[in-house]
């Protein structure tokens, strides 16, 4: 079974302090695996923080969105991984 060790957009749009801690943890894991890479954690977090307001309008509550679409007779194509 695979593990999920990435960052989700919902985490970015939530509590940024929690997001920052998770990001730092992931970077530390990658640095143990690939010690030659160089990551400026503070600069990357600043970039992510700048994305929050740009990304937020494109992220929706999909459960509500899908229920509304179904009630309106829309067709939904579902894909799973």
79 is a domain residue: no
64 is a domain residue: yes
Contact 23, 44 (CB under 8 A): yes
- Per the structure, the complete domain to which residue 50 belongs is given by 9-71
1 is a domain residue: no
Report the pLDDT value the prediction gives residue 1, as an integer from 0 to 100.
Answer: 58
Domain count, the chain: 1
20 is a domain residue: yes
37 is a domain residue: yes
User: Residue range 75-79: average pLDDT?
Assistant: 92
47 is a domain residue: yes
Give 5-59 pLDDT, tens digit per residue.
789 999 999 999 999 999 999 999 999 999 999 999 999 999 999 999 999 999 9
């Amino acid at each position: 079974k695979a593990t999920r060790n990435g960052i989700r957009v919902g985490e970015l749009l939530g509590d940024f302090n929690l997001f920052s801690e998770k990001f730092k943890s992931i970077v530390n894991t990658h640095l143990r695996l690939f010690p030659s890479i160089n990551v400026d954690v503070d600069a990357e977090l600043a970039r992510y923080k700048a994305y929050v307001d740009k990304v937020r309008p494109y992220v929706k509550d999909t459960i509500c969105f899908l229920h509304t679409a179904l009630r309106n007779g829309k067709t939904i194509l579902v894909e799973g991984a």
